[in-house]
């Protein structure tokens, strides 16, 4: 809007300068003033927006892996993976309030590990389909053996998530990087005590 007003103002000046001999251009200067005022307002608004604190981070709930039949090989581990990731998603915000760097590491670890583990669940779904569709064949035997192997790898991944959550729980008991509550309140408490003592001495004198 400021740019449009400025352009119109310049055009008015040119037009009036060719039509007027007095050198007083009237409305043209109004357009220029409006353009200058609009530019100042826009600059102040941009500066205020830049000074605003960033919006609080909201952690998305981890997406569930591909649905796997309850009787398929590895179904229990797949469900366990989902539960563990949901638990970690609840832990990370609490960690972030105490140790932002540690919370960032947890997020990064989850984002790197989760796709690989979800891919294992996808393989289990495919292998389960082979076992069902080709029962009694060599393909079924091979799919069963492969599913058992994939399940073990998924079990290892779940165990790693469990250790990660256990370490996070331990970290929640660690001292805060910032000043503790006692450290913040103690000086105020000491000041009030001294003030009260001074009042008593003044009253007894």
Q: List, as one string, the DSSP characters of 82-136.
A: HHHHHHHHHHHHHHHHH-HHHHHHHHHHHHHHHHHHHHHHHHHHHHHHHHHHTTT
69 and 128 Cβ atoms separated by less than 8 Å: yes
Question: For the ranges 52-56, 90-94, 177-181, which has the lowest average pLDDT?
Answer: 52-56
At 3 the pLDDT is 44
Q: Where does the pLDDT of residue 4 fall: very low under 50, low under 70, confident under 90, or very high at 90 and above?
A: very low
Give per-residue pLDDT as tens, 120-169: 999 999 999 999 999 999 999 999 999 999 999 999 999 999 999 998 88
Residue 45 is classified by DSSP as H
Burial 170-182 (b: 16+ CB within 10 A, else e): ebeeeeeeeeeee
Which contacts qualify for 100-108: CB closer than 8 Å, 24 or more apart? 102/171, 106/164, 106/168, 107/59
Structure-block tokens of residue 179 = 């000043």
The 3-state DSSP class for residue 21 equals coil
What is residue 80's predicted lDDT score, i.e. its pLDDT?
Answer: 95
- For 132, other C-beta atoms within 10 Å of its C-beta total 13
Averaged pLDDT of the chain: 75
What is the chain's Cα-based Rg? 34
| CB neighbours of residue 81 within 10 Å | 25
Q: What is the DSSP letter of 178?
A: S
Q: Is the pLDDT of residue 67 over 50?
A: yes
Q: 91-128 pLDDT, tens per residue?
A: 999 989 888 888 898 999 999 999 999 999 999 999 99
For the chain, domain boundaries: 2-51, 75-178
Query: Token pair of 18, please?
Result: 């060719």
User: Which letter does DSSP use for residue 25 in this model?
Assistant: -
């Amino acid at each position: 809007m400021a740019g449009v007003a400025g352009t119109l103002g310049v055009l008015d000046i040119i037009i009036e300068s060719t039509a007027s001999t007095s050198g007083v251009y009237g409305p043209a200067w109004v357009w220029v003033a409006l353009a200058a005022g609009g530019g100042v307002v826009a600059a102040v608004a941009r500066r205020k927006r830049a000074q605003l604190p960033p919006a609080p981070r909201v952690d998305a709930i981890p997406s569930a892996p591909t649905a796997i039949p309850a009787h398929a090989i590895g179904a229990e581990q797949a469900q366990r993976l989902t539960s563990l990731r949901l638990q970690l998603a609840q832990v990370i915000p609490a960690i972030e309030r105490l140790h932002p760097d540690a919370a960032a590491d947890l997020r990064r670890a989850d984002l790197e590990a989760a796709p690989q583990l979800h891919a294992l669940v996808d393989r289990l779904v495919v292998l389960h389909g082979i076992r069902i569709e080709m029962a009694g064949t060599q393909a079924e035997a091979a799919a069963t053996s492969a599913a058992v192997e994939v399940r073990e790898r998924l079990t290892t991944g779940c165990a790693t998530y469990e250790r990660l959550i256990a370490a996070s729980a331990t970290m929640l008991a660690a001292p805060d990087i910032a000043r503790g509550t006692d450290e913040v309140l103690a000086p105020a408490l000491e000041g009030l005590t001294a003030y009260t003592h001074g009042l008593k001495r003044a009253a007894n004198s």
